[in-house]
Chain A
C-alpha cells in the first residue's frame, strides 16, 4: 500500500476485460487511497476509441477521488493512430516511461499539496 498504483497492460484487452480493469482500478484507488495511478501501455499495440475511453474514464474517476493518472510508454505508432482517429486523450497525462511517470506524479502531487512533508514520502513509492 503506497502512494502510487502501477498497472501494466500486457495483452490486447477485449472489452469486458478493459471494463473490469476500470472498475478494479477505481476500487484499488479507494482501498489504497493512492495519490497517483500509472498505466503502462508499452506492450499495447492497439488503442482504439473504446480503449481510449476506458483510459479517459479511469483518469476522470481517479481525479474525482483525488488521484492523478499518467499513461506511460505509449508506442509512437499508437500515438499517431490515436491522433489521426481524433482522440488526443484529453485529461490524461502522459510520460515516456515508468520513471518519468513517477516523476510527473510526484511533481503534480507536490504542486497540489505544497506541504513540505510530502518530500519525505517521495522516495517510498510503492507499486502494485
Chain B
C-alpha cells in the first residue's frame, strides 16, 4: 500500500496488525512489529517524501512471520552506517528510529542510494 500523507499511518498500522493477528503472533511481538513499522513509515514520510510498503506473510519450518518492505524514492541516506547509530539524526528527532527498529525486529536490511531512494526490509517471526 502506498503512504503519502500522515493520515495513512494509522490505517497502515491497522493493516499490519491484522496480518500479525492472522498468523497468531503474540501481543508483545505484535507491538514490537507495529512500533517498528510505525518508525519506518514516519521516516519514509519525513525524509523520503512518502513511498510504498509491501506486507508479506512468510513461513518457514515451525514458524511464520511477516515481512515489510518500505520503499521510497527520496534523497537516500548518504551514510547508512552512521544512520544506524543511536542518537544520530538529521531531523530534530531523537535518532532512535533506525537502530531502535532494528532492535525490535528479527531481521533488518537497508539499501540506500543517494538521489535514488531507500529500501528497508524488516522481518518479524511469530516466535522470534
Contacts and interface: CB of A to CB of B under 8 A. Distances in A.
Q: Which 6 A-B pairs have the closest CB atoms?
A: A85-B100, A77-B31, A48-B38, A77-B28, A49-B96, A81-B31
A45 B34 CA distance: 9
Contacts of A85: 35, 39, 96, 100-101, 103-104
B61 interface: no
18 contacts: A14-B6, A45-B31, A46-B13, A47-B35, A49-B97, A53-B93, A76-B28, A77-B31, A77-B32, A80-B28, A81-B28, A81-B32, A84-B32, A84-B100, A84-B104, A85-B101, A87-B94, A87-B100
A16 interface: yes
Interface of A: 12, 14-16, 45-50, 53, 75-78, 80-81, 84-87
A86 B96 contact: yes
Interface of B: 6-7, 9-10, 13, 17, 27-28, 30-32, 34-35, 38-39, 42, 86, 93-94, 96-97, 99-101, 103-104
A49 B38 CA distance: 9
A50 to B, nearest CB: 6
Contact of A86 (B13, B31, B100): B100
